[in-house]
Structures are given as structure tokens and as C-alpha cells.
Amino acid sequence: MEQTEELIPHLFRTEYRKLTAVLTKIFGLEHIEIAEDISSDTFLMASETWGIKGLPENPVAWIYTVAKNKAKDYLKRNTLFDQKIVPHIQSSTSEIEEFEIDLSDQNITDCQLQMMFAVCHPSIPSEAQISLSLRVLCGFGIDEIANAFLTNKEVINKRLFRAKEKLRSEQVKIEFPNQNAIEGRLEMVLRTLYLLFNEGYYSAGKDITLRKEVCLEAMRLTNLLLENKSTNQPAVNALISLMCFHASRFEARVNINGETILYQDQNESLWNDELIIQGECFLNRASVGDKLSKYHLEAGIAYWHTLKQDTNEKWENILQLYNKLLQLEYSPIAALNRTYALSKANGKKEAITAAEKLNLHDNHLYHALLGNLYTGVDNSEALSHFRTALKLAKSKADKTVISKNITNLGSS
């Protein structure tokens, strides 16, 4: 019984998404709930049956067989598909019995890729794309998605409902874009995967295991793009490189209480050298062609952060990469991060001048950075910024870090 209770959640995470992708491809995106229901019912039956009879010899094969049979039963007893599905398979019951659902590795991969492009349709807001990706492409439960977004189930359910309705109204198909359309659509997919990874990596939630799972799922989906010749492009390699570099420091950036450990305070022995090597390999593969993406530049920045020596060369390179990144695609957070690199390369006074020009007075990160920059230069000014940052901060993790800085300054 205990073995069953441990195996089913694992199989749900790995196989639910595969079943849902393949079944949605068959039924059509407008009937995605049917595919989700069949997949969920399959795992419910597994839980009930295996709890009584014990584990089958091949649990994955059992799940696939049951899902196939449930899909065939649905086709037979529902007139909903008389016009859409049945004509394609000849409408007799005997032919439905012979209808085969392709759950080969290749078809599963193809369906997941096609689903990825559908979910990342430009008509859907970013948060909804991430929620739908976590649910359909990653097999996360509604509670887990709510925890990842620090919200409740009702919000996530509404978000998913609106996203699915949008897919229906836009008549989005589960299909692979033609070669001419891939590049434009691929950028949207990469953006969603980038945000999905960041949701795990920078999430302020307490569930460290869940955060890591979100990051790993983003990496898995990015790897699907690498395995396809049409989508194995330099920007994709740059993105997975960035993910590898960030993931290499995952264990070092959070303590056992879920509190954030700043880069300069991390235990370097906890950095994952294997992931760093993989990141370097992907970054080399990304260097072909003549198109420079923000993922190239961010991967380069992340690479320099994996070098343990705190040298001027390191920070000068990081600074120059930030300069290029801001020219390519400006963002306030990138500008803030640049000022930290500027302080390491050229000193705090120059960095303070650059930071104050940003005028991000409603952003707690802005005041936290200025607090750090003013520390040792003007401690009273540093305290003022840290206190403002504490008032603006929303997450417990951020408040803990800022409070420690205030305490250290107060006792110095």
C-alpha cells in the first residue's frame, strides 16, 4: 500500500501530461477538459485498483491501457464527437474498437511540443500561459500552482478557465507551426519557459521542493525544443544554458528555513559543478549564427557568476554584458542588477549615482540595493533605505534579509 501511495504521485507528474497532450490532440483543444478528465480518472482508478490488488507488473503500461480504453469508451457513448472525430475513423462501433491511440515516445514528444506552442499563444496573458503550462504540460495540481503563485485555488481555476476559453475563441489548433512561422512563435514559447523558470527560481514561497520542481519542469520543456531539429536554435541553447547556470546554485541560495542567501554569502561548495559544465556546453552551442538574444546575454552574465574568484575582470565582464542587455531589452530589474555589478567593478560611489537615476521609489529591491551601496559610505542613509525597503517588501523571505541588514547596521 505504501509503495502505491509513493508511486502514483510520481507517475501522475510524469505521465499525466503525456496522456493529456496526446488525448487533446485527438479530441481538439476546444475539448481539453475531456482529455484532462480521462487522464485524471485513469489515475483515480489506479489508486483504487492498486490499493486493493497491488501494483501491476508494468504500472506505466497499465495506465496507458486504461487511458486508451477510457478514451474509446468516451467516443462510443458520446454523440459530441459524431461530427468531429467519428467521421475520421468511420463511425461503426467495431472500427472505434480498433481505433488506436498512439502513445509511442515520438508521438508523445510531438504532441507535447505542439501543445506547448498552443499554450503559448500570444492571445493569452503571461500569467495564464504559465498556469496552463504548469497544469497541462507539467502535471501540477491546482493547489500546487496556487502555492507557486502565492494565491488561492479559486484564482488559478478562473485563470485557467479564461485561458482555455481564449484558446477556443481564437480557434487555436494543436499543431506544429510551419517553418516560416516557427521563429515568431518560438520567441513566445521561450518567453513563457523563461518566466516559468523564474517563477520557481525567484518565487518567495516556502515550499523549496516545489520551487525546484517548477525549475526542473521548465528545463524539461526547453529540452523538448532542443530535441526537435526545427526548434533546436541558438536562442533555445542560450536559454537552457542560463537555466543550468542558475540551477547550479539552487542549493546554495536558500537555507533550511527557506530564507534567501545572497550571492556574496553563498557556500560555493554547494554549487553544482556538473550543471555548470552543462551550461558552458549549451552556451558554446548557442554561439553560432548572427542573432543575439537576451538569453545569450543573461546566460553570459550567469556564467561569470559561476566563477568563484571575485576579480575585477569578472565584474567588468558582467557590467559590459548588462550594458548590452539593457540596449537590447531594457528592464528596471536588469538596470538595478547592473548597478550592483558597477559597484563591484568601479566602486560604490559611481554605482550610487547610477542607481539613484533609476528613481524606482516604489520598488523594495531599489531601496534594498541602495541600502547595500550606502553601507560603509553613509550608514544613516543606508538604514533609511533599508527601512523603506522593509515597508515595501511583500514576501517573508525578502523581509528577513532586509531585517538582518538593519540589525547589522544598528549594531555596527
Interval 4-29 mean pLDDT = 88
**Contact between 203 and 253 (Cβ < 8 Å):** no
Of 293, 308, 323, which residue is a domain's last?
308
pLDDT of residue 264: 87
In a domain, 340, yes or no: no
**Average pLDDT over every residue of 391-401:** 87
Q: Is the pLDDT score of 90 beyond 60?
A: no
**Which of the given ranges, 88-97, 183-192, 235-244, 397-406, has the highest pLDDT on average?**
235-244
Q: Tens digits of per-residue pLDDT, 262-291? A: 888 899 999 999 999 999 999 999 999 889
Which residues span the domain enclosing 71?
A: 2-103
365 domain-assigned: no
Measured between alpha carbons, how far apart are the two ends of the chain, in Å?
58
Give the domain-ending residue among 308, 327, 347: 308
Query: By the 8 A CB rule, do 334 and 326 touch?
Result: yes
Asked whether the predicted pLDDT for residue 93 surpasses 60, the reply is: no
Q: Which residue has the cell 500561459?
A: 129
Question: Treating both helix axes as pointing N-terminal to C-terminal, what angle do 208-226 and 234-247 enclose, rounded to 10 degrees?
Answer: 160
Split into its structural domains, the chain has a count of: 2
The C-alpha atoms of residue 324 and residue 329 are separated, in whole angstroms, by 9
Lookup: cell for 124: 493569452
Residue found by looking up cell 553563498 in the block: 266
Q: Is residue 262 part of a domain?
A: yes
Number of Cβ atoms within 10 Å of the Cβ of 384 = 15
The tens digit of pLDDT for each residue in 228-265 reads 999 999 999 999 999 999 999 998 988 877 778 888 88
DSSP 8-state class, residue 229: T
Q: Reduced to 3 states, what is the DSSP secondary structure of residue 47?
A: helix
Query: Of 308, 327, 362, which closes a domain?
Result: 308
Neighbouring C-beta atoms of residue 305, cutoff 10 Å: 18
The residue with greater pLDDT, 393 or 394, is: 393
CA 330 to chain centre: 22
| Nearest-angstrom CA–CA distance, 40 and 54 | 20
Does 89 have pLDDT greater than 90?
no
Share of the chain above pLDDT 70, in %: 92
Give the pLDDT of residue 91: 47
Cell numbers standing for residue 404: 538582518
13, part of any domain: yes
| Cell of residue 357, nine digits | 537615476
- Cβ atoms of 412 and 379 within 8 Å: the answer is yes
pLDDT 10s digits, 178-214: 877 787 789 989 999 998 898 888 765 556 666 788 8
In a domain, 18, yes or no: yes
SS3 (DSSP) at 58: coil
Instruction: Return mean pLDDT, the chain.
Output: 89
Residue 396, domain member (yes or no): no
Q: What is the 3-state secondary structure (H, E, C) of 94-149?
A: HHHHHCCCCCCHHHHHHHHHHHHHHHCCCCCCHHHHHHHHHHHHCCCCHHHHHHHC
Give CA–CA dist 261/271, Å, rounded. 13
Percent of the chain with pLDDT over 90: 61
pLDDT digits (tens, 9 = 90+) for 298-327: 999 999 999 988 899 999 999 999 999 999
54 domain residue, yes or no: yes
| Domain assignment present for 195 | no
- DSSP line for 357-381: TT--TT-HHHHHHHHHHHTTT-HHH
Q: If you ran DSSP here, which 8-state letter would residue 254 be given?
A: B
What pairs with residue 260 in β-bridges? 254
Instruction: Check if the beta carbon of residue 140 is closer than 8 Å to that of residue 172.
Output: no
Residue 86 banded pLDDT, cuts 50, 70, 90: low
Query: Which pLDDT tens digit goes with each residue over 99-138?
Result: 678 888 999 999 999 999 999 888 888 889 989 998 998 8
Note whether 377 and 350 are within 8 A (CB): no
Nearest CA to 23 out of 130, 115, 142 is that of 115
Please tell me the predicted confidence (pLDDT) of residue 207: 62
Contact 352, 374 (CB under 8 A): yes
CB distance 392 to 364 below 8 Å: yes
